[in-house]
Copies of this chain bind each other. A is one copy, B any other.
Amino acid sequence: MSTSSSSRTPAAPPAPTVIVVDDDEALREALSSLFRSVGLRVELYGSAAELLAAKPPAVPRCLVLDIRLPGVSGLDFQSQIASSPMNMPIIFMTGHGDIPMTVRAMKAGAVDFLTKPFRDQDMLDAVATALENDRRQSEAEKASTDIRALYQSLTAREKEVMSLVTSGLMNKQVAAQINLSEITVKIHRGHVMRKMNAKSLADLVRMAETLGLGITKA
């Protein structure tokens, strides 16, 4: 067993994980050995279905899979996973792939596309890049999600005022725009600042940017 002596600390070490999906057990074991040799956690699956049944590991993580899988095609699996909470960077391996396949995979965001046999170092480099991408992506996503949650706690009026205020209008201009008195705008504005947990207008403007506010023209 030899599980680590980690306790339930709030700031747990990230533990980067590589998920390998391949129907060739020998290759799975070889990759597992390779990844573990550089200190990475590894999960092995023989098919896409097995992976989907499991629960996704914590970030950072990435997927290493063969284009040719039992059941689903690797490319179909890629688009399938991209629009799921399992979404993570993918590195493809192939024994007999072709160029159109490669192009499609790369266009869909694959980190790399390695032809067997590949050099260990190439795989490790690809995995390092993938894990770093996943870390960044997940970080940005979390920040965005948090802000979006705060934003949803605003009332319709407050959202409206936030949009106009962060677009650079003065309180009196906002008031004129939506036919309110200036004092009412001030109150809504105050509520927005508190609810959004913004410490300054600059803060609020940045949040509005993240939310994509102001670009709501139709």
Question: Interface residues, chain A, CB within 8 Å of chain B?
Answer: 94, 97-100, 102-103, 106-107, 112-113, 115, 165-170, 199-203, 205-206, 209
Contact = CB atoms under 8 A, between A and B. Distances in A.
**Tally of this chain's copies:** 2
Given A168-B201, A200-B168, A99 B94 contact: yes
Q: Across the A-B interface, give the 4 residue pairs with the lowest CB-CB distance, nearest first.
A: A168-B200, A106-B106, A168-B202, A205-B205
A37 B21 CA distance: 46
Candidate in A100, A103, A168, A199 with the most chain B CB atoms within 10 angstroms: A103
A99 B100 contact: no
14 contacts: A98-B99, A99-B99, A99-B113, A99-B115, A102-B103, A102-B113, A103-B106, A107-B112, A165-B202, A166-B202, A168-B201, A201-B201, A201-B205, A205-B205
Nearest to A122: B100
